[in-house]
Structure 1
Amino acid sequence: MEILRLKELMNQKGISREELANKVGVSMTTISNINSEKNLPTINLLLQIAKALDVDIREMFLPTKGSSITQNEVDQAKRLFEKGLNVLNGVIE
């Protein structure tokens, strides 16, 4: 199971990689790498993507019906948030 539901949400909203990339100001490669989890987005980029998809950021992490989240996936999501918070704290402090 993927950490992010980006691909699924893009399909639901009928938004292509190119369209999403243009809306958030990144390359299509960046969106592809996020979809394939080669790269994880920053918290700021996640917020921009959620806004572009018109979803609450929490929806990007919620499992779909009938799926479950493993402890490893929970740990990965926690690390992603902690990394983002550390970046934000470094900028604010």
Structure 2
Amino acid sequence: MEILRLKELMSQKGMSREDLANKVGVSMTTISNINSEKNLPTIHLLLQIAEALDVDIREMFVPTKGNVVTQSEVDEAKDFIEKGLRILEGKK
């Protein structure tokens, strides 16, 4: 399961990797690595991306497979957010 819906949201907004990279001030490689989940964005970058896409940050995590969210999806999103917070706090 993808943790972030970045590709889907970019497609919905008609925004290319280059467009998004320019709007948030990062390289296209950074956006590609986030899309492929090679790298996880910082909370700060995630907020910038949500703003550039004109979506609520929660929309970055909401699955589109219907209205049902499984516990494992909730746990994965929680782990992702907690990891980001630990990195921000310098705890890794």
Q: Which residue of 2 aligns with 1:19?
A: 19
TM-score by length of 2: 0.84
Instruction: Give the helix-richer structure, 1 or 2.
Output: 1
Q: How many residues align?
A: 90
Q: Which residue of 2 aligns with 1:49?
A: 49
CA gap 1:56/1:31 in 2 versus in 1, 3 angstroms: same
CA gap 1:73/1:38 in 2 versus in 1, 3 angstroms: farther
**Deviation (angstroms), 1:48:** 0.2
Alignment of 1:30 onto 2:30: yes
**Deviation (angstroms), 1:89:** 4.7
Q: CA RMSD in A?
A: 1.9
Structure 2 unaligned spans of 5+: none
Percent identical residues: 81
Structure 1 unaligned spans of 5+: none
